[in-house]
Amino acid sequence: MGLPLMMERSTNNNNVVELSRVAVSDTHGEDSPYFAGWKAYDENPYEESHNPSGVIQMGLAENQVSFDLLERYLEKKNPEGSMWGSKGAPGFRENALFQDYHGLKSFRQAMASFMQQIRGGKARFDPDRIVLTAGATAANELLTFILADPNDALLVPTPYYPGFDRDLRWRTGVRIVPIHCDSSNHFQITPEALEQAYQTARDANIRVRGVLITNPSNPLGATVQKKVLEDLLDFCVRKNIHLVSDEIYSGSVFHASEFTSVAEIVENIDDVSVKERVHIVYSLSKDLGLPGFRVGTIYSYNDNVVRTARRMSSFTLVSSQTQQLLASMLSDEEFTEKYIRINRERLRRRYETIVEGLKKAGIECLKGNAGLFCWMNLGFLLDTKTKEGELALWDVILKELKLNISPGSSCHCSEYGWFRVCFANMSEKTLDIALKRIHEFMDRQSGF
Amino acid sequence: MRLIVPLQGVVQGRGGLFVGSLIPCCLFYFLQLYLKRRRSPPPPDSDSTELPRTSSRSSLFTRGNSIGRVRVSSRASPLAKPPDSPYYIGLDRVKTDPYDRVTNRDGIIQLGLAESTLCFDLLQRWMSENLMDSLMMQSDVDGGFDVSSIAMYQPFEGLLEVRVAFADFMSRIMGGNVSFDPSNMVITAGGTPAVEVLAFCLADHGNAFLIPSPYYPGFDRDIKFRTGVELIPVHCRSSDNFTVTVSALEQALSQARKRGSKVSGILFSNPSNPVGNILSRETLHAILSFAQEKNIHVISDEIFAGSVYGDKEFVSMAEVAASGDFDKSRVHIIYGLSKDLSLPGFRTGVIYSFHEDVVSAAKKLMRFCSMPVPVQRILISLLSDTRFIEEYMAAHRQRIRDKHFLFVEGLKQLGIPCAESGGGLYCWVDMSSLLTSYSEKGELELFEKLLSVAKINATPGTACYCIEPGWFRCCFTALADEDIPVIMERIKLLAESSTS
């Protein structure tokens, strides 16, 4: 948990210049299996024609299923217009100089409108509460800096996105205390688990500053139930702590009606002292398939947090170019309505394909309804129901099946044998090949 | 509150230092209060909306319990307060009443932001001719636009092509005698994150960097905010044209050590900001020798390297470091295109380090502040257009030189001298003759008069930790020639009203 590697820090006989603890710490986590699989992929990447027996990357939650919609939009609209905004090339001047941490008003309005559309209008977003950051990774880190001091803790339900270990802890010095969830109730957060996590922190003399959830969940690929959200808010009020909801996959819910955003819960609350502990993180990396653009946002109901986050966003501003480029696209409601609808549909079909395919191979998945991945249960294949057993299986899948999937232990899952499998970052053909490899593997297993 | 040096006592060598420090301290406090009250109300959509404070006891939550207001971290609290540095105060004031040649001739003229608009015509032309091609890569399959080339995840430290393009560009504009290895380079979203990431890598919370003063006021925020690294000013004087000396560094370091402060490195800008000095090869050598001897890092912020207009040649610390006498791994360079290429809105920063582990750590930290892929594609195209870059840089330098001449001449006519400078987008102006008292208080009073009476925002030396009062940084590269006489007239009027 962030202990520095041994370095010759005190005896400096050969005048080697020192680095900071942050620089030498391994909290970046890039030595874990989650990232080790990526290295295997980098060394031998699957490619449809040139390298059909290479490693298929199923560990990257990237959405490539709707690129054609984006391409058609960008080609159709006047490119000059989208580059500079409505003023055409003369608008370049303002664009080149603009580095105001408030962000372009037109872009914030576009983001607010897009976020509203995703939630079917069930919650309203005020553009002045939107703080722009270079990606959701930066948004989560920024919020952590603002809400917690070094050695304070955020409670995070398991299993969680492995990147949180790095994003929430590395530079901030803040800890994560897990809220344990298990398959007995589909990994939903229970009030008991919340209390237990809180107590664990208190027993270790750690001050809890907030709860951070991902809704829909990564890696589960499932939405958080409305009742659970209400319980969570209640808990945060009682303990007087913050609630951060990372809703980066909100546009990737297969059926819009199944998603409840924490914004909807807050929408009906007038009491400022309740509202102002709620903060939402969003980004265009997953729903719009634009991770390369580095567009993230913090939406906070707390004026102080908005003000502070805005100032701190100097370290992670969104380029004026990207704001300009995307503002007109996101405020084109006809386009966004169509995009959101078609994207959801395609993701749903992909999900069904992979879950059906796995079922035919004798593998069950958690019932999911969102995201770019499914949560697969291979517990029955483990030699021992331990972390080592799980990693041994993961290794076999990587080396023999040449599939890079993410082991549940890297997501801090308390049950062994679960794996996250991404399905939206490849063509349908590639997905077929991956399923075929799994089939063959399972056939071989049952053959023994 | 900063320690106020009792300048008169020091300069005149008299005693009475206690009284000499007490009075300016009190006056400084009163002046701060005075300035705060005089500040005009913020514009409607500014970030100073206050929540109506209600007692937590009276606002009962529906579920029946009375709850406290949730708090933010203690490190966030300072950020919530309005800025108290004249640097930011001045920038904010201009926003309330900005000068416009046509629509608001009585507005406040901005001389506090180091930005250049002198070569926008060239940039605009390039963009209109090349932007679409550089951005929209062709698909192999059907010749249509391939969005995946700009949409997908790419290495956070920047595509190899953009690092190669930057390496080549930096080498050209820094004299051509230094080469940069793209694998030692990390691309980020601006000079601000570049300097913060380096601070995170080189120093722990509570450690310090020595920094020759006067220095760029933004460093206080960029370095101290989240890293907890302190900045220890190393005072430079007009007698040396504000060039740092090794003896000053020695003194600052030993004082720091006596206080129990651990110094991790030296941070300096070259060309310097706010003075505009170009550090000689000898000075760079001396700084590096000093760092080597004390086993600390050197961070050279070279963001104005392409904005040199004087006779002195610019030499990068990278060139000195590579000269073979030194342990290069302690040398780190910061660069970006906000100044030299007038693209602050794009958010372009470079961290260049000779230390493998620093590059490795910085790469991983780029996930928090990386440059978007579409912008990288534009820059690859722009920076590799060597013919355009040559034309641009030549025009950029020439136009700064011309504007600098006009501005400094104008001040000279008023009897106001400037420090010698050869780079940057500003000049360092000695307005001590306009001070009512040769002190920090006098300087802040003049700052306020410049803002409210002359309607000019110039950054006072106090904000830059300058030890001599009366100096102001004036940025002139966003001015049209016809703005200059307007400015000089206003200063003249102010000077005359002071003496009357």
A428: enclosing H helix or E strand: helix A428-446
Read off the tokens for A387: 């972390």
B178 backbone dihedrals φ, ψ, rounded to 5°: -130, 140
How many Cβ atoms sit within 10 Å of the Cβ of residue B50? 8
Q: Which of B73, B327, B342 is nearest residue A149 as measured by Cβ atoms?
A: B73
Which of B358, B385, B412 is at the close of a domain? B385
Hey, of A99, A109, A208, A325, which one would you mutate to test binding to chain B, going by the most B CBs within 10 A of its CB?
A: A99
Is B124 within a domain? no
- A145/B468 Cα distance (integer angstroms): 37
pLDDT at A79: 55
Report the CATH superfamily, name and number, of domain A33-68+338-442: Aspartate Aminotransferase, domain 1 (3.90.1150.10)
Alpha carbon A67 to its chain centroid, in Å, reads 20
Asked if B347 and B399 sit in the same domain, the reply is no
Q: Where are the domains of chain A?
A: 33-68+338-442, 98-335
Read off the tokens for A306: 């908005």
Check residue B240 and report its DSSP letter: G
How many Cβ atoms sit within 10 Å of the Cβ of residue B154? 19
Q: Does B117 touch chain A (CB under 8 A)?
A: yes
Q: Does A64 touch chain B (CB under 8 A)?
A: yes
For residue A145, the chain B residues in CB contact (below 8 A) are: 73, 75-76, 226
Distances in whole angstroms, Cα of residue B443 to Cα of each of B31, B242, B407, B413: 11, 18, 21, 21
- The verdict on a CB contact (< 8 Å) between B68 and A99 is no
Hey, of A12, A18, A132, which one would you mutate to test binding to chain B, going by the most B CBs within 10 A of its CB?
A: A18
Please name the residue of chain B whose CA is at the shortest distance from the CA of residue A153.
B73
- The verdict on a CB contact (< 8 Å) between B327 and A315 is no
Q: Please, which residues 140-199 of chain A have a Cβ atom closer than 8 Å to chain B?
A: 141, 145-150, 152, 166-167, 171
Residue A15: pLDDT above 50?
Answer: yes
Q: Which of B99, B223, B335, B339 is catalytic?
A: B339
Which of B340, B358, B385 is at the close of a domain? B385
Residues of A with a catalytic annotation lie at 161, 246, 248, 286
Q: Which residue has the tokens 């299996």?
A: A33
pLDDT at B368: 96
Please name the residue of chain B whose CA is at the shortest distance from the CA of residue A239.
B67
Residues in chain A: 448
State the total domains in chain B.
2
Is B58 within a domain? no
Asked if B262 and B405 sit in the same domain, the reply is no
Q: What is the CATH number of the domain that holds B486?
A: 3.90.1150.10
Read off the tokens for A157: 């339900």
Q: Could you list the pLDDT tens digit for every one of the 500 residues in chain B?
A: 444 444 444 444 444 444 444 445 445 445 555 454 444 443 333 333 333 344 333 333 444 445 678 999 998 888 888 888 999 999 999 999 999 999 999 999 999 999 999 999 999 999 989 988 887 766 656 666 788 888 899 999 999 999 999 999 999 999 889 999 999 999 999 999 999 999 999 999 999 999 999 999 999 999 998 999 999 999 999 999 999 999 999 999 999 999 999 999 999 999 999 999 999 999 999 999 999 999 999 999 999 999 999 889 999 999 999 987 789 999 999 999 999 999 988 899 999 999 999 999 999 999 999 999 999 999 999 999 999 999 999 999 999 999 999 999 999 999 999 999 999 999 999 999 999 999 999 999 999 999 999 999 999 999 999 999 999 999 999 999 999 999 999 999 999 987 65
For residue A97, the chain B residues in CB contact (below 8 A) are: 115, 117, 342, 344-345
Write the DSSP string, A14-53: T-PPP--HHHHB-TT-TTSHHHHHHHHHHHSB-BTTTBTT
Contact A197, A177 (CB under 8 A): yes
- The verdict on a CB contact (< 8 Å) between A322 and B204 is no
pLDDT at B2: 45
pLDDT at B399: 97
- The verdict on a CB contact (< 8 Å) between B355 and A97 is no
Asked if B399 and B487 sit in the same domain, the reply is yes
Asked if B146 and B108 sit in the same domain, the reply is no
Q: Catalytic annotation on B416?
A: no
Q: Which architecture characterizes domain A98-335 according to CATH?
A: 3-Layer(aba) Sandwich (3.40)
- B128/B120 Cα distance (integer angstroms): 12
Q: Which of B73, B128, B369 is nearest residue A315 as measured by Cβ atoms?
A: B369
- B209/B500 Cα distance (integer angstroms): 45
Contact B352, B184 (CB under 8 A): yes
Contact A412, A429 (CB under 8 A): no
Check residue B223 and report its DSSP letter: I
- B294/B292 Cα distance (integer angstroms): 5
Asked if B406 and B331 sit in the same domain, the reply is no
Q: Does A296 touch chain B (CB under 8 A)?
A: no
In chain A, % of residues over pLDDT 90: 80
Q: At what angle do helices B246-258 and B281-294 cross, to 10 degrees?
A: 30
Provide the terminal-to-terminal Cα distance of chain B, rounded to the nearest Å. Answer: 34
CA-based nearest distance B437→chain A, Å = 35
Which of B354, B385, B416 is at the close of a domain? B385
- The verdict on a CB contact (< 8 Å) between A315 and B203 is no
Read off the tokens for B383: 């920076």
A281: enclosing H helix or E strand: strand A278-283
Please name the residue of chain A whose CA is at the shortest distance from the CA of residue B338.
A97
| Residue-wise pLDDT tens digits, A335-345 | 999 999 999 99
Q: Please, which residues 459-478 of chain B have a Cβ atom closer than 8 Å to chain A?
A: none
Check residue B221 and report its DSSP letter: I
Q: Does A23 touch chain B (CB under 8 A)?
A: yes
Contact B218, B303 (CB under 8 A): no
Read off the tokens for B316: 């990068």
Q: Does A209 touch chain B (CB under 8 A)?
A: yes
Give the residue numbers spanning the domain of B454.
80-119+390-498
Please name the residue of chain B whose CA is at the shortest distance from the CA of residue A168.
B368
Read off the tokens for B283: 């000075």
| Residue-wise pLDDT tens digits, A326-366 | 998 999 999 999 999 999 999 999 999 999 999 999 999 99
Contact A225, A260 (CB under 8 A): yes
A124: enclosing H helix or E strand: none
pLDDT at A90: 55
Q: Which of A92, A141, A314 is nearest residue B368 as measured by Cβ atoms?
A: A141
pLDDT at A1: 42
> How does strand B208-213 pair with strand B230-235?
parallel
Question: Which of A1-5, A115-119, A403-407, B186-190 is predicted with the least confidence, judged by mean pLDDT?
Answer: A1-5
Q: Does A415 touch chain B (CB under 8 A)?
A: no
> How many CA atoms does the CB half-sphere of A425 hold within 13 Å?
24
Asked if B371 and B394 sit in the same domain, the reply is no
Asked if B487 and B340 sit in the same domain, the reply is no
Asked if B319 and B459 sit in the same domain, the reply is no
Interior angle at CA A398, CA A394 and CA A399, nearest 5 = 120
Q: Which of B92, B222, B301, B340 is catalytic?
A: B301
- The verdict on a CB contact (< 8 Å) between A15 and B207 is no
Contact B166, B185 (CB under 8 A): yes
The chain-wide mean pLDDT, for chain A, equals: 91
Please name the residue of chain B whose CA is at the shortest distance from the CA of residue A69.
B147
Asked if B339 and B202 sit in the same domain, the reply is yes
pLDDT at A109: 96
For residue B296, the chain A residues in CB contact (below 8 A) are: 17
Residue A306: pLDDT above 90?
Answer: yes
Q: What is the CATH number of the domain that holds B157?
A: 3.40.640.10
How confident is residue A30, by pLDDT bands cut at 50, 70 and 90?
A: confident
For residue B117, the chain A residues in CB contact (below 8 A) are: 93, 97
Q: Does A78 touch chain B (CB under 8 A)?
A: no
Task: Report pTM.
Answer: 0.89
Is B74 within a domain? no
Q: Does B201 touch chain A (CB under 8 A)?
A: yes
Q: Which residue has the tokens 């900045």?
A: B231
Report which of A394, A382, A401 is spatially closest to residue A32, judged by C-alpha positions.
A394
Q: Which of A20, A147, A276 is nearest residue B201 as measured by Cβ atoms?
A: A20
- The verdict on a CB contact (< 8 Å) between A67 and B361 is no
Q: Which of B47, B59, B146 is nearest residue A273 as measured by Cβ atoms?
A: B59
B372 backbone dihedrals φ, ψ, rounded to 5°: -60, 150
For residue B298, the chain A residues in CB contact (below 8 A) are: none
Check residue B97 and report its DSSP letter: S
Is B72 within a domain? no
Q: Does B367 touch chain A (CB under 8 A)?
A: yes
- The verdict on a CB contact (< 8 Å) between B59 and A272 is yes
Which of helix, strand or coil describes residue B46?
coil
Q: Does B12 touch chain A (CB under 8 A)?
A: no
Q: Which residue has the tokens 């002359």?
A: B454
Please name the residue of chain A whose CA is at the shortest distance from the CA of residue B331.
A17
- The verdict on a CB contact (< 8 Å) between B151 and A95 is no
Point out which residues pair with B299 in neighbouring strands: B267, B332
Contact A404, A43 (CB under 8 A): no
Is B326 within a domain? yes
Asked if B282 and B425 sit in the same domain, the reply is no
pLDDT at B143: 64
Q: Does B262 touch chain A (CB under 8 A)?
A: no
CA-based nearest distance B500→chain A, Å = 41
- The verdict on a CB contact (< 8 Å) between A20 and B370 is no
Read off the tokens for A443: 């056939």
Asked if B102 and B147 sit in the same domain, the reply is no
CA-based nearest distance A383→chain B, Å = 35
Same topology between domain A33-68+338-442 and domain A98-335: no
CB proximity list for B339: less than 8 A, separation 6 or greater: B114, B115, B116, B303, B304, B306, B307, B424, B425
Alpha carbon A211 to its chain centroid, in Å, reads 16
Q: Does A427 touch chain B (CB under 8 A)?
A: no
Q: State the count of interchain CB pairs (< 8 A) between A and B.
A: 268
For residue A291, the chain B residues in CB contact (below 8 A) are: 151-153
Is B23 within a domain? no
The mean pLDDT value for A403-409 works out to 96
